[in-house]
Amino acid sequence: MGKGSKAPPPPTATSQNITQSDLPEYAKPYYENLMARSQAESYQPYQAYGGERIAGFTGMQEQAQGAAGGLERPDQLGAATNLAATTGIGALGTQYDDSTRSWTSPGTAGQFMSPYMQEVVDVQKQEAIRDAQKTDLSQDLGAARQGTYGGSRQLLAGLERERALGSQLGQIQAMGSQAAYDRGQSAFEQEEGRTLQNRQFGAGLGMQGLGLGLESAQTLGDLGQAQQQTDLQRIQAQAAAGAEQQGLQQQYLDTAYGDFLRQRDYPKEQLNFFNAQLRGVPVPQLSSTQTAYAQPPSVASQIGGAGLAGLGLYNMYNK
């Protein structure tokens, strides 16, 4: 030791806290069992559920879906549309010809005047001529008896008779022609009236037929809508029944999955129950702290320890 140096102070005693834990002998097996079982449960692999979770469509649902997908416009609606269109076009073009012929048109009167009229008139003329001849003969015989036959008086009388006969024949012809004309005109008017009436009647029948066509189109449309509504109601009923079946199947699947969860978690639930029971058991304080006092190491040992530490650092540095 060099001059003037002082000696180091004497070492002092150090204290150290030592904590000790211990269970009562009667509680150790239970806690050890709980820890072992908990450790074993923590090593369990993930358990996948091997069953179905969601119920698929039933056959009735698939049938309803197929029927809904294949639902088309009823045939009656197409037929009703075509019939209504055809009837409408026919109604636009329906009209009757109200034109009439004229009695004064060339050739019309001759078509309706009786061809036997002239024969009747000729007969009447012949009768008038015979009557005139009889009159002439009678007057000639009278003149002969009186001795005036061949005189001027007889000549004048004969001329007057001829004039009267001609006038009579003209009247017979005129009256016969007028009668034939009137009858022909009456027949013409009657025929034209019947023709016009027939045209009107035919047009009325045509309109009635068109009305029946429209009614038929309406009936077909109603039948088509009724059929479509019936199809939809049937599909809805099938879908509802299928949904009930699917719901029941889903309950089976949910119950099976719930049973799986309960079976899988049953050991954990038992551990929780076991742990809760142990927590309810009165156990003394499991840990205690003690303070221990020890002498510090000597200077030589401190120096040796420091030397060993320095040697280790030197070797590490070289490496």
Query: What's phi and psi for 169, nearest 5 deg?
Result: -65, -40
Contact 108/155 with Cβ under 8 angstroms? no
CA distance 141 to 152: 16
Average the pLDDT over each of 160-164, 196-200, 205-209, 248-252 and give the range with the smallest value.
205-209
Number of domains in the chain: 1
The 10s digit of each residue's pLDDT in 46-101 is 889 999 999 999 998 999 889 888 888 888 778 878 877 777 776 655 555 566 67
Residue 196 lies in a domain: yes
User: For residue 195, what are the domain limits?
Assistant: 59-253
Residue 122 lies in a domain: yes
pLDDT category of residue 253 using cuts at 50, 70 and 90: very high
CB atoms within 10 A of CB 176: 19
Residue 208 lies in a domain: yes
pTM of the shown model: 0.42
Answer whether residue 251 shows pLDDT above 50: yes
The 10s digit of each residue's pLDDT in 147-157 is 555 556 656 76
CA distance 196 to 199: 5
CA distance 164 to 128: 10
Tell me the percentage of the chain whose pLDDT exceeds 70: 64
CA distance 79 to 219: 11
The 10s digit of each residue's pLDDT in 157-189 is 667 777 877 887 788 888 877 887 788 778 877
Q: Kindly state the tokens that stand for 302.
A: 């401190």
CA dihedral 251, 253, 255, 260 (to 10 degrees): -170
CA distance 53 to 253: 6
Residue 303 lies in a domain: no
